[in-house]
Structure 1
Amino acid sequence: MELEHKAYWALEFLNFDESLAGEKRKLQLLELEEMRMNAHESSKLYKEKVKAYHDKKLLKKEFKLGQRVLLFNSRLKLFPGKLKSKCFGAFIIKDVKPYGAVELFDPQSETPDKTWIVNGQRLKQYHGGNIERMTNLMFFQDT
């Protein structure tokens, strides 16, 4: 009872109308919701523009059966260095799948029927020349 009396006294002291305060609060909430919706729409438009820009920069690569290609290996980071090539192989295209997937096989491997499928964006056209595949064996001795 005493709490209600203090609240009534505070409202009367400040000349505060409850209905006007409620309406003002509703307007503030509606403005906040409108600002949130504008921010969401702005973010959506920005993402669409950035996606269109990046998609425009992608090069359309067309590969044919029997063509020789190099494979860009972005996952191999064992020995990072400026002079180390990130492309390897001289693989032959066995099949071109829809949506940019390409099936490759290695003509120098022991099993010629072993193939794998990679994303076409990871391939570069091979223009010729010999590729030396170097294998280094290191033996360590316990002293």
Structure 2
Amino acid sequence: MTVAGERRLLQLNKLEEFRLHAYENTKLYKEKTKRWHDKQIQVREFEPGQLVLLFNSRLKLFPGKLRMKWSRPFEVERMTPHGAVELWNKEKTEKFLVNRQRVKHYWADHPDKHKESITFADE
């Protein structure tokens, strides 16, 4: 009976040690994933009056190979300190906040759109 009790205590200690290792591994995995995710984030700065396109997040509900992923141009009203962008819809005259990662610059009316630059280097 005492041998079985000692063996059971040893198994419980091994189980506790295994649980601690699993906890450390998940912590390391989460830190590594967070570093990778933070590296993938593109910092985009917008100024009031700029035109931007809004990512259509509902696209995944209706899959389509040729479906537009970006909605019509919206005008930037203001930027908040924490990364939200207030957009203004000219057609419906409404304002709404979105995450800055969901918008990108709209260059259709940009003056440098049709200019092309080629640089040659002498070797």
Tell me which interval the TM-score lies in, with the shorter structure as reference length: 0.7 to 0.9
Task: Normalising by structure 1, report the TM-score.
Answer: 0.69
Q: How many residue pairs end up in the alignment? A: 109
Superposed CA deviations along residues 41-93 of structure 1, whole A, max 9, x for unmatched, are 11111111011111111111111111110111111457532222111211110
Superposition CA RMSD, Å: 1.7
1:68 aligned residue? 51
| Identical columns (%) | 52
* Correspondence 1:123 to 2:106: no
Superposed CA deviations along residues 107-141 of structure 1, whole A, max 9, x for unmatched, are 3x253xx2111111110100015xxxxxxxxxxxx
Q: Could you say which structure has the greater relative contact order, defined with CA pairs below 8 angstroms and 6 or more residues apart?
A: 2
Task: Normalising by structure 2, report the TM-score.
Answer: 0.79
CA distance in 1, matches of 2:15, 2:24: 14
* Correspondence 1:34 to 2:17: yes
Larger radius of gyration: 1
Identify, as 1 or 2, the structure richer in strand. 2
Runs of at least 5 residues in structure 2 that lack an aligned partner in the other structure: 110-123
